[in-house]
Amino acid sequence: MAAFRALVVHSQTEALGELVEVLAGPQLTVDTARSMTEALNRASQQDYAVVVADHRPPEMNGLELLERTQAYLPDALRILLAASPDAAGDLPHKPAGTIFRFFARPWERWQLQAVVAEGLKLHRLEREQRDLIQKLGREHEKLRKREKLLDVVVKERTREIEDAYLKLKAANRQALLGLAEAIEAKDAYTKGHCGRVAAFGMHLARACKYPEADMEALEFASFLHDIGKIGIRDAVLLKPAALDPEEWIHMRTHAVKGYEIASQIEMLKPTMSAIRNHHERWDGAGYPDGLKDTSIPLAARIVCIADAYDAMATDRPYKKALPSEECEQLLRKNAGKMFDPELVEIFINSGGTRLMEQVATDEAAAAEAAAAEAEAAEAEAAVERAVTIPAAAKV
């Protein structure tokens, strides 16, 4: 079967026969029509690649016929067959399709074959191009769907990994903070110290515009600054009296011990310097490295002030808690000696030395709530006992 079909329209049977003879071949099946009505009827039912119409008005208006086939066969090659240019008239070129004029006397019609062959070649190329575009469109759509699916899967997996990471991080955090609390729990006087130093350290960090991205590491460093005390002998750590020189030397090793612990734990690595250097002094007389002023890491300078303020504002075996005014005086007195003077001013001016009052209020509220809860539990237990004892007595 030929790849294409042509429709040839002519009012004369003999001419139709000649045209079929010229055009029909292995690539082209030729149908014929003798009137406009018959031609339009065929064009509406069959897909023609070529329409050839004789133009011989008023008997056969080929121009009008070709224009009307546009509605059924928008891609067809339309050829108007006329005996002379005068007979073809003035042909319009429409945007949707072009009508080719072919001028030939009856014995020259064989030349039409070359025109149609060229037209078919063009038609074949267009058809291949259209098929290719459709195929590309389908492949593109498939790819788009696959990409969308992949995107959903990747987002879902990312969310799962993030959730797992956050859970793991929270578990690690709890474990590490628990360790710090276990150390301070040995000593009733330092109970809650790590948590308060973390709160004061965060307050000062925010006030001095410490980088947001490093806040979490600083919070850890504040909380775990004394983690090295895990390696301090209880006799020294818990001694209720002043330490002798040898004991002081041992106590001071907690800074390096803490640094060594932090260096073994991936999550604590960003906190290492703050843990090691939180006992350095601004004047260089601190330990363990004798660092001076701004050579002391900023995180360590912040933890140092937070740690010292907590020591000033809480009861210790050797002294009573100082009120906020005295804490301010003491901090200012030691600014430029023990502490970074700029940070001391920021801490005081941002209300840092009044934070302990808030802690005391919070602790009192928490203690009150705990006492109320214990009272309620006791009342409930009493009711239960009252109901249970008579029932047991019956047995």
Applying CB under 5 A, the residues found at the interface with Fe ion are 226
Question: Residue 224 phi/psi, 5° resolution?
Answer: -105, 15
Residues 6+ away with beta carbon under 8 Å from 220: 173, 176, 267, 268, 270, 271
- Residue closer to Fe ion, measured from CB, 55 or 229: 229
Task: Report the alpha-carbon distance of residue 91 to residue 47 in Å, rounded.
Answer: 24
Joined tokens for residue 228: 């090295």
- Residue closer to Fe ion, measured from CB, 197 or 348: 197
Joined tokens for residue 3: 């790849």
Residue 179 CB, shortest distance to Fe ion, in Å, is 15
Evaluate the CA torsion angle 168, 170, 171, 173 in order and state its sign: positive
Number of DSSP helices (H) and strands (E) in the chain, helices first: 15, 5
- Residue closer to Fe ion, measured from CB, 226 or 328: 226
Residue 362 CB, shortest distance to Fe ion, in Å, is 24
- Residue closer to Fe ion, measured from CB, 226 or 340: 226
Q: How far is CA 221 from the centre of its chain?
A: 29
Residue 180 CB, shortest distance to Fe ion, in Å, is 12
- Residue closer to Fe ion, measured from CB, 112 or 180: 180
- Residue closer to Fe ion, measured from CB, 62 or 228: 228
Residue 275 CB, shortest distance to Fe ion, in Å, is 9
Half-sphere exposure of 336 (CA within 13 A, CB side): 3
- Render 282-311 in DSSP notation, one character per residue: TTS--SSS---GGGS-HHHHHHHHHHHHHH
Nearest residue to Fe ion, by Cβ distance, number only = 226
Residue 376 CB, shortest distance to Fe ion, in Å, is 40
Residue 226 CB, shortest distance to Fe ion, in Å, is 4
Residue 158 CB, shortest distance to Fe ion, in Å, is 40
Q: What is the CB neighbour count within 10 angstroms for residue 309?
A: 30
- Render 23-79 in DSSP notation, one character per residue: H-BTTEEEEEESSHHHHHHHHHHS--SEEEEE-BTTTB-HHHHHHHHTTT-TT-EEE
- Residue closer to Fe ion, measured from CB, 18 or 226: 226
